[in-house]
Amino acid sequence: MEFDLANTEVVLVAAPKDFRDEELFIPEDVFSEAGAFVLTASTTKSSIHGSQGGSTEPDLHIEDINVDSLDAIVIAGGSGARQYLWHNESLLGKVREANDKGKIIGAICVSGAIPALAGIMKDRMGTVYPDPEALDILKGHGEIYVDEGVVVDGNVITANGPQYAKEFAEAILGLLKQRLLTTI
């Protein structure tokens, strides 16, 4: 069955610098090719720069994300995520709101710590890049760490790192399609 994702909105969130390029651009391509409307958000609307040399201009500030209109919020990792996103209260609030409204939440690499920091992962399974600080965050927030490439627990999808970017994006896409089927 062919799916029309034209009315599906995905917001990709990335740090203003040192996000991991593959974790932003591969999901962006996967969602766009499937017909979804994709927006990028960051702490700035100025050009943001990945650790591998890529750059883009975000469509919106994190605080301007409209959780009611989106179907999924997906957070790219990379060293910049730790510095700019882990403790960004606007982002943590958007993740909590998205979870409360049953929206899909994706987080890859060290950004896998963000759902835990938002307080939505107690007794839920997830993965993260095996950085000691990120692992401590998961443990400290009651998350069940699973040492796998991609982990799906309800509406939250986490992935280990850039080598899983395509599989991560496809898992999110699969959940979007599954939800679309239930509304038909």
For residue 113, give every residue at least 6 positions away whose Cβ sits within 8 Å of its Cβ, in sequence order, or none.
82, 86, 107, 128, 133, 134, 137, 138
pLDDT digits (tens, 9 = 90+) for 93-128: 999 999 999 999 999 999 999 999 999 999 999 999
CA dist 120 and 159 (Å) reads 16
| Confidence bin at 1 (pLDDT 50/70/90) | very low
Q: Write down the pLDDT at residue 2.
A: 54
What is the separation of C-alpha 97 from the centre of its chain, rounded to a whole number of angstroms?
A: 14
Residue with the two structure tokens 């994300």: 65
Task: Confirm or reject CATH 2.70.70.10 for domain 9-183, answering yes or no.
Answer: no
Gyration radius from the chain CA atoms? 15
